[in-house]
Structure formats: structure tokens, C-alpha cells
Structure 1
Amino acid sequence: MTASVFRFAPSPNGPLHLGHALSALLNADMAAQSGGRMLVRIEDVDITRARPEHERAILDDLDWLGIVYERPVRRQSEHADDYAAALDRLKGLGLVYRSFLSRAEIAEAIRSEEVRSGEPWPRDPDCAPLYPSIDRDRLVQDVAACVAAGQPHAWRLDMAKAIHLAGYLSWQEFGDSLDGPGMMVPADPAAWGDVMLAGKFTPAAYHLAVVVDDALQGVTDVVRGHDLYFATAVHRLLQTLLGFPEPRYHHHRLIVDADGRKLSKSKKSEGLSALRAAGATVADIRRMVGLD
């Protein structure tokens, strides 16, 4: 029987906080309990935000937590060719298109449509506005003119075409135990609209990179925060289109602050390094995240 493979995949754009600690510890605990493998992946595909000092601090925190993982770690910044190959496969299926709009142009298009229709623009499960259809509907000659002019572009998934090709989708969601068949959850990737697969200046966006990485690393069990629960629909869609295996999923509770908001690097939530400096022990961290 093939061993289960778990992974913890932080982005090196800030220090780890208690929410990361919960995810890392759960992955390590489940790997140990199942006799499986534990991997760490550095999600640094966005080199404009990734910092080497943050990666060093992350690995130092994981060592302090006592998490044993296989080395070397996988760094997304070293695998642009893998993402390009996956994107090329989707291009070959006719499922992607170039998107040229700037943020300002997107905002203006949405404002204009809301004024015209008198209805609010649809938003995805993360409350971000869906990408308008302007680029998807461009004439071939207009696209060619934009490319010839050197206009930067991203690549987006034509969601309607992709869903039509993939058909019905679902995923296995597990609770605190990975025993049993899990619960089958219907996937609704349409709620996300035409998601970005590669940025104007990055080889892959999150959705494509995480699916490719999990497949190439043989990840069998994805244990991550509930904030990514609905994004699983997009990942199942891409796995199906690319012929990748389907992992099992466990979306754990989030650690929230005193105001009920999830901890965030952008909100400067207290990092593990600060807690360590204040005298916290690993046992204290486990207790703080509810893993006594």
C-alpha cells in the first residue's frame, strides 16, 4: 500500500503565526499517525513578495516546533517549466485566453455594468468581483494586435468551457480523522468565474501552481485552513482537466483574533518567533491552537 503524503505549503512573505502552526502541526500529526510522509513546500512563485529571510524564519520555526519533514523542500520559483507545461496542455484544449485588462480597467468595466443594469456585480466566494468577459470576447485580430504591441497579459481559464469538458465534480472531505470514506462535497467552480492561471509577470497563479505541485509531489492528503474550502472546486476542476489524481481533503478550523478575524500576515498577526522570544514553549503553542 502506498504511504500517504502530506504537505505544509507556506508563502515566504511574512512570519508564521498561530494559524500556520495549527496547519503545520496537523499535517505532521496526521502523517505520523498514518505512517505517511511529511513534505514542506515554499510557495514563492510570486517573487515580488517572497523574501529569503522569511523562508529561513519559516524553516527555523518548523524545526523549533519539532516537525520532521523530507528535504530538500520544493520551491515554486525553481519549477516554472512545470507550470508552463500544464498551462500549455490547457491551451491545447482551448480552455484559456489572454487577459489584458489592468485593475483600473476592470474596476471601470464593473462600475459601468452596475450602472447599466442596476444590479451588483457578481463576486466569488472570497468576495472578489468576477473577471468581466471583455478579454474572453475579444476578436482574434484584436488579441493579435495587443500581443504585437507588446501589451502584457495574464492567462485565464474559460470557466464555462472547462466545466462543460470536465462534467460533474466533487471532492472527499474528511473531519478530524482520515478513517472511513469521508463526505462527498459537490464542487461549484463556476462560482469563481474565469480564474487566473498565470499572471502578467509570474509563471503561475495560486490555483494552477498548487494543483501542479500536489500532483508532482504525489500528495495524497491536503490538510489546510477552511478559508480554502471553496477554492477546492477550482482545484478539482484543474486536476480533472490535467489528468491529475484526486487527493483527499481536510479543511481545518481557523485561528481567529479577539475580533473574530482570521490571523493574517497582512494584519501583522503575532508571529511564532515573537511568541518564542516571549518564552512560549512548543507545548504552549499546541495548547494555544487547541492541540493539547
Structure 2
Amino acid sequence: MKNLILDKYKLILWMVALPSLICAQELDEKALLQKQNKAQLFVAEGNESFQNEDFITAEMAYRKAMSQQSNTVAASYNLGNGFYKEGNFDEALYRHEQAAKDATSKTEKHKAFHNIGNILMQNQLCKEAVEAFKNALRNNPNDDETRYNLAMAKECAKHEKEQDEKDDEDSDDKKDEKDEKNQEQQDQDKKDEQGDDNEDKKDQGDEDKQDGNDKEDEEGKPDEDKDENDKGDDSDKQQQQPQPRPSTLNGQQIKNLLEALNDKESKVQEKINAEKQKGAKVKNEKDW
């Protein structure tokens, strides 16, 4: 019984709250519709300014449209066309990629990818442009202009590939040439080092030869040191000879000895003179 009453109570609450939820949803849809209408009005203003070549005013209008409805494809697409006309390819590419993402119809996707391909060609990204034109043709296979642009993009990509291969070959050739020059330089450095070693050996040989000559000169020269040593040896020999011993005689004995020696010497001299008188020859010539 209690559960039955509780279920009835919940049912009453749900029936009371349901009109409020429906009313809130209607308000959200109404607000969304109002934003969509405002976005369309801003897009229309932007298109008018764009046709009058007033891109600054057109850009402001397109941005207002996206502030009301961020996924407004027309605003993104037309804003991208304006940047492309101004030469701002990076911003134009961003806006067209945004349009291609938000597009809901094949017609919108085809136009967005077609313009993306044109922008990539301007940036010389041929390979990427080929993919963009292919995506455009997937959404509209009957567009001859897209097909023609695809053929041009393929030709550009082929030339780009050949140029890259040539650059790689040139790079390899330059690398080989650089390696060859480095090897030649290493060989030359090695030869220079060997030449320096030989020169050092030659200089060392000359120094050794000069030292030998100096040694011979020293051996041929009188050895002053040797003379000095010889003198020293003589001095030593003299020192080694017996030295006269000091006399132990007194004064009177020395006097008597000297008188005896003088007397003996006088007698010897008298004898010699006598013998000279006997053997002397008579001179026949007269002295002048």
C-alpha cells in the first residue's frame, strides 16, 4: 500500500515537471534559431561588403557570424576566399579546412577541397594539392575545372619528386667529393708529418756528426788539463825525491871542512896549470 502511494506521488511529480522541460527545450531551439538567423544576416552583410571590395568590413561581418554560430560554413568559406584574395594563404588555408570540416553537403565539401588544392599549389605543396583535388572530385566527379587542376598538381608533384631525387644525387656527389678531398688532405697531412720526421732525423744526424767532429777536435787539441796533470805529476816526483837532510855539524866543524876543501881545490888547480904550461904550443903569428 505504501509503495503504491509512492509510485502515484512520483507520477504526479513527473507530470508536473514535464511541461517545464518541454518549455525549456522550446526556448533553446528558439534561441538557436535566432542565432542562426543572426549568423545568416552577418554572412549576408559580409558578402555585400566583399562584393564591394571592402574586405575589412566583410571580415568583421563574417567573424560576427561565426560568433553567433561557430560552424557557419558560409562564413568560414567566404572568409577564406577573402584571405586568399589578399594573399594571406596560411589564413585562407585554415579557414577552408574549417569549412570542409563543418560542411554537411557534398557541394560545400567539393568547393572547400577545391580551394584547399588551389592554396596548396600556391604554397608549392604539389603532393598535398593532389590529395585535396581528389577529395573534391569524390564529392563532385563531374567538375572539369577540378579535374584539370588535379592533372596540373600531378605534373607538379612528378617534377617535385624528380627534383628531390636530383638534389639527393647532387648531395651524394658533394658528399663523395667532400670525402675525397678530406682523404686527400689526410694523405697530404700524413706525407707532411713523414717529411717533418725525416727532417728531424736529418737534423739529428747532423747534430750527431757535429758532436763527433767536436769530439775529434777536442782529442786533436793539446790537452791543457793533461799538461797540468803532468806538471802535477812532476811536482809529485820532485816531492818524492830524497831531500837534503839538515846538517848536524857545528860551526867549527863546518869551517874546518871548508878550509880542507879549498886547500884541496887549490892543489888540484896548481896541478892542472902545470900540465897546461908543459903542453902549450908556441904561437908563430903576432897578435894585432
Q: Taking structure 2 as the reference length, what is the TM-score of the superposition?
A: 0.19
Higher helix share: 2
Q: Tell me: higher relative CO, structure 1 or 2? Use CA pairs within 8 A at least 6 residues apart.
A: 1
Higher strand share: 1
Task: Please tell me whether Structure 1 or Structure 2 has the larger radius of gyration of its CA atoms.
Answer: 2
Q: Taking structure 1 as the reference length, what is the TM-score of the superposition?
A: 0.18
